[in-house]
Amino acid sequence: MVSTSEQLSQKIADKTAKVGVIGLGYVGLPLLQAFIRSGFDTVGYDVDQSKVERLLAGESYIKHIPSDWIAQWLAAKRFTATADMHRLSEADALLICVPTPLNESRDPDLSCVESTSRHISAALRPGQLVVLESTTYPGTTRDVVLPILAESGLTLGQDFFLAFSPEREDPGNPDFSASRIPKVIGGMDAVSRDLAVALYSPAVVKTVPVSNCEVAEACKILENTYRSVNIAMVNELKVLFTKLGIDIWEVIEAAKTKPFGFQAFYPGPGLGGHCIPIDPFYLSWLARRHEMPTRFIELAGEINASMPLYVVEQVVEALNDVGKPVRGSRIGVLGAAYKKDVDDPRESPSFKLMELLIERGAIISYNDPHIPVLPSMRHYRVPRLASEPLTAEYLASQDCLLVATDHSAYDWDFIAKHARLIVDSRNATARIAQRCKNVRKA
């Protein structure tokens, strides 16, 4: 008699297995593209009915994910989307790509993972592989997801299979699409791992099997903590070097000419995106549960969290130098996305910068070519502003422009020509700063 795992393995091998992706956002849509391009039929699940309707109409709602992708998926009959979680049983593999934010006390908020797991458990049938991709702390797959799936009455390793494979998306980076990034995979057992490896292998450039889910979960946390700590170091050095009259950006450019032992990290107005500002706190939370300090991680978090205030102080000082108080000054923030050339505002430091400036009495406006209206953010009290057109009149009307995101669309010569004062936290004006007296680095 052929076992359930053997049946699923054969379906994966001949690409008759249907791949379901739960959470159709910055991770889920590129993942669908990778599987569709490799020959699998797919179904996308999302609780947001408006997203489902736009996808079924062939429309993308994420700037760097072209609508052409969606239209091609639909035309080839390789894709459908639904908000009906009763249809989770249709897919042979279910890949969970839902948010894992922090709560108000900066502890892990796994409510989306738990809710998704309950939906899967209610629909789970023999022969399904479940893979958690959402970034989380080591132990989540075993201690949170597995017990919920077990409520189905089915048996792990016999009826269903469970693995963890962390997402590694870099939104807006055309050099690293989902299919071109190696995939780390850990299973709850060897069968689950091997099935997940077989599933991902046709869709990605390389699979990296590890011994268990905890190693795969810890791998993702390590990657982002590494970046957080190193960004904190250059942020701290930026503050020191500024006091010494040294340009941190020039220092980094010189240092990265060393062909070994150095990797360039860059300072900024604070951390943004879903990963770096959040993931290290998952690890520090886990350490507290085991009565261990994580001083490196927590110190890096403190330094990075302090950068918006440092930048605002630079704005205040720059205004003072031209005889203006921040209260009543018109300040235009350039960029609301957390990184250049994307429409992703998640955890963007721009919101904290605006909040701090508003608290000091500034009159705030903003421009972002990728974000026409500021979304409501649960952690920040910022008005729901619309992006101002970047005209000569608008630029001249602002007492100060604060560069928060260095989008490629910005014409820095035009901006500098018409602006009264520019405070640049991204080194975006490096090419023109020497000849423009109205530019100040922050």
Token couple for 31: 């993942």
> Is the pLDDT assigned to residue 170 strictly greater than 80?
no
Q: Is the pLDDT of residue 4 over 80?
A: yes
Check whether residue 342 and residue 271 sit in a common domain. yes
pLDDT beyond 70 at 33:
yes
Chain segment 136-165, per-residue pLDDT in tens? 999 999 999 999 999 999 999 999 999 999
Q: How many CB atoms lie within 10 A of CB 369?
A: 17
Task: Return the closest-CA partner of residue 323 out of 395, 245, 394, 399.
Answer: 399
CATH number reported for the structural domain that contains residue 23 in this entry: 3.40.50.720
Same domain assignment for residues 210 and 283: no
- The number of folded domains in the chain is 2
Asked if the model's pLDDT at residue 175 lies above 80, the reply is no
Q: Say how far residue 49 (Cα) sits from the centre of its chain.
A: 22
Closest among 150, 157, 158 to 124, alpha carbons compared? 150
**What pLDDT score does 72 carry?**
96
Give pLDDT, residue 217: 96
Question: What pLDDT does residue 176 have?
Answer: 66
Distance from C-alpha of 200 to C-alpha of 137, rounded to nearest angstrom: 22
Q: What is the predicted pLDDT for the residue at 282? A: 80
pLDDT, average across residues 231-237: 96
| Residues 417 and 328 reside in one and the same domain | yes
The angle formed by the CA atoms of residues 186, 192 and 197, to the nearest 5 degrees, is 65
Any domain includes 317: yes
- Establish if 201 belongs to a structural domain: yes
Q: Are residues 25 and 100 in the same domain?
A: yes
List pLDDT tens digits, range 61-114.
998 889 999 999 999 999 999 999 999 999 999 999 999 987 777 788 999 999
Residues 188 and 265 in one domain: no
275 is catalytic: yes
Contact 20, 87 (CB under 8 A): no
Tokens of 293: 């300090």
Choice among 219, 275, 400, 436 that is catalytic: 275
What pLDDT, on a 0 to 100 scale, did the predictor assign at position 287? 81
Confidence of residue 288 (pLDDT cuts 50, 70, 90): confident
Q: How far apart are CA 332 and CA 398, in angstroms?
A: 6
Residue-level pLDDT at 281: 79
- pLDDT exceeds 90 at position 293: no
Q: Tell me: do 390 and 316 sit in the same domain.
A: yes
Q: What radius of gyration do the chain's Cα atoms show?
A: 24
The residue segments making up the domain with residue 414 are: 247-441
Q: What is the pLDDT of residues 363-414, one digit of tens each?
A: 999 999 999 999 887 777 888 899 999 999 999 999 999 999 999 999 999 9
Q: Are strands 183-187 and 160-164 parallel, antiparallel or unpaired?
A: antiparallel
Residue 20: the pLDDT is 98
Of 215, 237, 261, the one marking the end of a domain is 215
Same domain? For 35 and 176 the reply is: yes
- With a pLDDT cut of 90, the percent of the chain lying above it is 80
SS (H, E, C) the chain: CCCHHHHHHHHHHCCCCEEEEECCCCCHHHHHHHHHHCCCEEEEECCCHHHHHHHHCCCCCCCCCCHHHHHHHHHCCCEEEECCHHHHHHCCEEEECCCCCECCCCCECCHHHHHHHHHHHHHCCCCEEEEECCCCCCCHHHHHHHHHHHCCCCCECCCEEEEECCCCCCCCCCCCCHHHCCEEEEECCHHHHHHHHHHHCCCCCCEEECCCHHHHHHHHHHHHHHHHHHHHHHHHHHHHHHHCCCCHHHHHHHHCCCCCCCCCCCCCCCCCCCCCCCHHHHHHHHHHHCCCCCHHHHHHHHHHHHHHHHHHHHHHHHHHHCCCCCCCCEEEEECCCCCCCCCCCCCCHHHHHHHHHHHCCCEEEEECCCCCECCCCCCCCCCCCECCCCCHHHHHHCCEEEECCCCCCCCHHHHHHHCCCEEECCCCCHHHHCCCCCEEEC
231 within some domain = no
How far, in Å, are 98, 99, 152, 218 from residue 94 at the CA level? 12, 16, 15, 22
Residue 53 sits in the same domain as residue 189: yes
**Res 106: pLDDT:** 76
Of 215, 239, 264, which residue sits at a domain end?
215
User: Which pLDDT score, from 0 to 100, does residue 77 have?
Assistant: 96
The answer on 184 and 86 residing in a single domain is yes
In a domain, 235, yes or no: no
Q: Which residues contact 155 (CB under 8 A, 6 or more apart)?
A: none
Residue 178 has pLDDT above 80, yes or no: no
176 CA to centre of own chain: 14
Q: Same structural domain for residues 181 and 272? A: no
Alpha carbon 417 to its chain centroid, in Å, reads: 34
Q: Among 7-21, 274-288, 428-442, where is mean pLDDT lowest?
A: 274-288
